[in-house]
Amino acid sequence: MTQINQQNKDAVVTAAPGYQTLNPATGELLKEFNTLTDAEAEQLLSNAHEAYLKWRKVPVEERIEIFRKFADLMDENIDRFANQITLEMGKPLSEAKMESGLPGMIFRYFADNALEMLTERDINVEGFTRVYSRLEPIGVTLAIEPWNGPLYQSMRAAAPNLMLGNAVIMKPAEIVAGSTLMMDEIFEKAGFPSKIYQSALVSREQVTSFIADSRVRAVALTGSDRAGSIIGEQAGRHIKPVVLELGGSDAFIALDSSNPVAVAAEASACRLFGIGQSCMSPKRAIVTEKISEAFIKEYIKAFENQKVGDPFDPETTTGPLSSIAAADNLHAQYQDAVDKGAKVLVEGGRVAGTGAFFKPAVLSGITPNMRLYHEEAFGPLGMIYVVPDAEAAITLANATKYGLGGTVFSEDLDEAKYVAESIDTGMVGINRYMGAPLNVPFGGTKASGVGRELGSNAMDAFANLKTYSIL
């Protein structure tokens, strides 16, 4: 493995805190994991490269059959995975089951569409009998994935790489290592070649070393924009492609002609899903003055009706945040806004006692001197902005460094399209929250990242688009 020089060490944020899983509802230590030694990390990378050299030669039709077996096995283990996710990061069990069903769906999507994605594309060039291009694998992809969707996020990166013919090294977030490690067993049972997919409990210094190594050919990261800038810089230094899926502060815009009650119900439900810990959660509700009173009344009703508690309790709607640190940071953002004059529509904040609980809250009157105006609020904190018209909504929606997604509601479809086209995002839903359908490219602009995952473009950044010409 390439040695890490002092300059690279300085580029790493800090030493990783170590892999340990805690129950965020109780603070109980679930398990501690050993970080790989440098020798073990080198062996893991060597194994991945050797597996790639064999896997790339496996016909696509055989890969498809293995993908389908993997999907079936994931479906059979939904309850087991859901239980682990809820234990490690506090997601209500019903939502954890929903997430546990997604890997099977993702792998079936690529199994169903691989032949079309990987087909040769003919190009008419005078003087040649045939010119064509096709996507070909490049080697080992390092995937660095987050805690808020430990199965969904990791498999969203792994599936297109594996179908393409690449090997995958999966570095999980330190607090959900148990969930990610369970995936290795499923890959083995499905019939994937040994070491073609490996969970890697590596340090941040070892991540830097992986990126510098010639056997790693691409990097995928889902995380904060701070992490993205570090990983992007390191990959750029070695001229390697990246897909960076980073933060978001999406706007949910309700214009004059929209139904304020129905739209507020959808906006609040989207904000609260996943305990608000999602990059694509619509964090800022922007509503025009004409309908603001009815919208606000319905929006705050949803937040007031949340039940905070044990994520295994079917009555619970809001479990703990992923960690004490996450809950404390969200409360600091909330308190900063309140101290500087934000209007409290639903009072919330940190809940006393053990666990990383945060009572859902709603604020309005947020101004540029407050942290929440500029930062991503990762948790059940709703923010409502009232504006005079569509133009003001566009200006406010774009007044952020982020550009992941957005939502626009209006009975006037021309107006809705105009607003949607005017906001600087990678995705936008008109008269319905878009989410992340498997067949739609997922990704953003500005500090929300570069590249796309899912959909027909999912393989692009991880492939060699190779062109052949025949005289």
Residue 7 CB burial class (10 angstroms; 0-12, 13-18, ≥19): exposed
3-state secondary structure of 238: coil
User: With contact defined as beta carbons under 8 Å apart, do 21 and 173 qualify?
Assistant: no
Joined together, the tokens standing for residue 310 give: 């044990």
How many whole angstroms separate alpha carbon 81 and alpha carbon 101?
9
Q: Which residues of 212-227 are buried (b: 16+ CB within 10 A; e: fewer)?
A: bbebbbbbbbbbbbeb
3-state secondary structure of 407: strand
Chain centroid offset of residue 348 CA? 26
Confirm whether 245 is a catalytic residue: yes
How many whole angstroms separate alpha carbon 173 and alpha carbon 221?
11
User: With contact defined as beta carbons under 8 Å apart, do 282 and 271 qualify?
Assistant: yes
Q: Identify the helix (H) or strand (E) that includes residue 162.
A: helix 152-164
Selected catalytic residue, list 245, 266, 376, 453 = 245
| Helices and strands (H, E) in the chain, number of each type | 16, 22
How many whole angstroms separate alpha carbon 425 and alpha carbon 95?
27
How many whole angstroms separate alpha carbon 317 and alpha carbon 57?
48
Confirm whether 279 is a catalytic residue: yes
DSSP string of 338-371?
Answer: HHTT-EEEE--EEPSSSS--EE-EEEE---TTSH
User: With contact defined as beta carbons under 8 Å apart, do 266 and 244 qualify?
Assistant: no
3-state secondary structure of 408: strand
Nearest partner of 447 among 383, 392, 398, 390, judged by Cα:
398
How many whole angstroms separate alpha carbon 368 and alpha carbon 401?
13
Cα distances (Å, whole numbers) of residue 271 to 44, 252, 284? 39, 10, 9
Would you put residue 434 in left (φ > 0), alpha (ψ -120 to 50) or beta? Answer: alpha
Residue 294 CB burial class (10 angstroms; 0-12, 13-18, ≥19): middle
Nearest partner of 53 among 157, 166, 147, 130, judged by Cα:
166
Position 107: which residue type?
A: F
Selected catalytic residue, list 99, 145, 279, 453 = 279
How many whole angstroms separate alpha carbon 413 and alpha carbon 419?
10
Joined together, the tokens standing for residue 340 give: 């500087």
Catalytic residues: 245, 279
